[in-house]
Copies of this chain bind each other. A is one copy, B any other.
Amino acid sequence: MEKILTVKLHDMEIGRLEVTLNDEDARDLGLYSKDRVKIFLDGRGIVAFLNTTKTIVKKGEIGISRDFLTVSKIQDGEKVSVVPAERPRSVDYIRKKMKGIALTESEYEAIVKDVIANNLSEIELAAFVSAIYINEMSIEEAAFLAKKMAESGEMLELKKKPIFDKHSIGGVPGNKITLLVVPIVAAAGLTIPKTSSRAITSACGTADIMEVLAPVTFDAREIEEIVNKTNGVIAWGGGVNLAPADDIFIQVEYPLAIDPHYLALCSVMAKKYAVRANFVVIDLPMGEETKIGSMEEAKKYARDFMELGERLGINVECAITYGDKPIGRAVGPALEAREALRALEGGENKVPSSVIEKSTEIAGIILEAGGVAARGRGKEVALEYLSSGKALQKMKEITAEQGGDARVTSNDIRVGKFSEKIISNGSGYVTHISNRAIIQISRAAGAPKDKEAGILLNVTRGTKVERGDVLFEIYSDSEYKLEQALKLAAHMQPVVLEGMLLKRIPEYVIFEY
């Protein structure tokens, strides 16, 4: 069945290809709301989802939004042929997964293909993500999915192999260690094409930090060029089309506030497969407020990452790290960039040991894997690259190659012009610093968008504090935001002293079972 309809172009963009038909035309075509239709234009068929209406679109018309202008030169008043389109096979595979049956490689391929072609509705995507969340998947399936996710996007082609990479599954504020690990590893002559995310719900992502020093948006060819010259890069993952299905899955996970374990694994490993990594070290921060709450969970993550890596031909090593408090003192793009640069400049005494410790531990694992350091001596060698200034020199090279100013020192980095110190109104030892509160206060102050906003901690776990001592300082570009952040700080009390407030059920806790 077919209908010739007149295009009615609506002045709106809704982020997906949907058309609106009059109820009567839809019924004639045997179609219902949410069905797929194919619209023929210049002999080419475009698949879109159907809305139906009694009023807005008249019989004989087809309402289309401006989204179509990105795929076609369709014009108001034009005549187009419309036919029912079949539900893609991948919906059958989603239903199969909902029934708890493992999918094959070709079935995952079909799903990924339809995901990135926008052939699946939000309902179908949500069903797929829910099915994986509920029914989980085998490592074999995860390998199929990760591989297909990678192959459906860009793949890096780097000259110098083997290729090393790192990833942190996140949850800990202040984790600026990539800005130390990449130059250490690259200075040692190993290839490390690091792509990072921007903050979604955190205070800042590595891409946000690096952007304080240099541009981070590059396509695959530009990344290859930078890495071929310097051995390393710190780029924004969003600029290069690695495993593009991942972003679409996130659009469904985010509103449900779920992070299905196996999709998380696939998301990481697909990107590592896409840069053709041979060795990856995964940082698994464990702590009350991170994604990993117990050693048991951490071990499961580690085991799954390693098994998945094995199936993808990637050697994976996992580092279970301490995640119960922020890394270092600085949280927020500019504050973190400054702290990282200070560490590279050799200002070890000005930089909290946790930053140096964690960076050299992680870098050391890569140096050992790359044969640059003997087994058990990786951290030590990493420290040498740091204290010798070689890592700083490499960072300047990478910064310059990315289009930044290599002459910038830590003292040049501007931080928020409005700031306020938070003073302790009691005394005792610091027993807890809440990651979640630190993140939320930093965001209230303007991070990650306002690069100069954030928090500088003056204490760490175990610090002895007297009444009147500075606990931390909030920075912001805006007086109003600073005010908001201060209110939140008063309410959330991110730093807990022994004897003051031992247990508190935070109001901001997400309702979770």
> Which residues of A59-117 have CB atoms within 8 Å of chain B's CB atoms?
63, 65-66, 87, 89, 91-92, 94-96, 98-101
Interface string of A279-322 (1 = CB under 8 A from B): 00000000000000000000000000000000000000000000
Q: Does A490 contact B (CB under 8 A)?
A: no
**In the bound complex, CA of A34 to CA of B258 (Å):** 14
**In the bound complex, CA of A30 to CA of B199 (Å):** 12
Interface string of A44-60 (1 = CB under 8 A from B): 00000001010110000
Residue in A33, A56, A258, A510 whose Cβ sees the most chain B Cβ within 10 Å: A56
**In the bound complex, CA of A89 to CA of B257 (Å):** 12
In the complex, the answer to whether B15 meets A443 with C-beta atoms within 8 Å is: no
In the complex, residue of chain B having the shortest beta-carbon distance to the beta carbon of A51: B15
In the complex, the answer to whether B91 meets A256 with C-beta atoms within 8 Å is: yes
Q: Does A123 contact B (CB under 8 A)?
A: yes
Q: Does A27 contact B (CB under 8 A)?
A: yes
In the complex, the answer to whether B130 meets A127 with C-beta atoms within 8 Å is: yes
Q: How far is the CB of A505 from chain B (nearest CB, A)?
A: 16
* Chain B hits for A33, CB < 8 A: 15, 251
Name which of A131-139, A177-185, A385-393, A405-413 contacts chain B.
A131-139
In the complex, the answer to whether A27 meets B449 with C-beta atoms within 8 Å is: yes
* Chain B hits for A133, CB < 8 A: 98
Q: Does A252 contact B (CB under 8 A)?
A: yes
* Chain B hits for A94, CB < 8 A: 256
In the complex, the answer to whether B13 meets A56 with C-beta atoms within 8 Å is: yes
Q: Does A402 contact B (CB under 8 A)?
A: no
Q: Which of B11, B87, B134 contacts A98, CB < 8 Å?
A: B134
* Chain B hits for A372, CB < 8 A: none
* Chain B hits for A98, CB < 8 A: 130, 133-134, 258
Q: How far is the CB of A256 from chain B (nearest CB, A)?
A: 5
**In the bound complex, CA of A513 to CA of B94 (Å):** 11
In the complex, the answer to whether B12 meets A20 with C-beta atoms within 8 Å is: yes
Q: Does A466 contact B (CB under 8 A)?
A: no
Interface string of A324-352 (1 = CB under 8 A from B): 00000000000000000000000000000
* A123-B255 contact, Cβ under 8 Å, with A30-B443, A98-B133: yes
* Chain B hits for A502, CB < 8 A: none
In the complex, the answer to whether B254 meets A34 with C-beta atoms within 8 Å is: yes
* Chain B hits for A123, CB < 8 A: 122-123, 125-126, 252, 255-256
**In the bound complex, CA of A208 to CA of B131 (Å):** 36
User: Which A residues are within 8 Å of any B CB, using their own CB?
Assistant: 1, 10-15, 18, 20, 27-28, 30, 32-35, 51, 53, 55-56, 63, 65-66, 87, 89, 91-92, 94-96, 98-101, 121-127, 129-131, 133-135, 200, 251-252, 254-258, 443, 449, 484, 510-513
Taking A12-B65, A15-B53, A98-B258 as known contacts, 13 extra A-B pairs with beta carbons closer than 8 A to each other, sorted by chain A number, are A13-B20, A13-B53, A13-B55, A15-B51, A35-B255, A91-B255, A95-B257, A96-B513, A122-B126, A124-B255, A127-B130, A130-B134, A134-B135
A-B contact pairs, 20 of them (CB 8 A): A11-B12, A11-B56, A12-B56, A13-B51, A15-B33, A15-B53, A28-B449, A56-B66, A87-B257, A89-B511, A96-B513, A98-B130, A98-B134, A98-B258, A100-B134, A123-B252, A127-B129, A127-B256, A130-B131, A134-B134
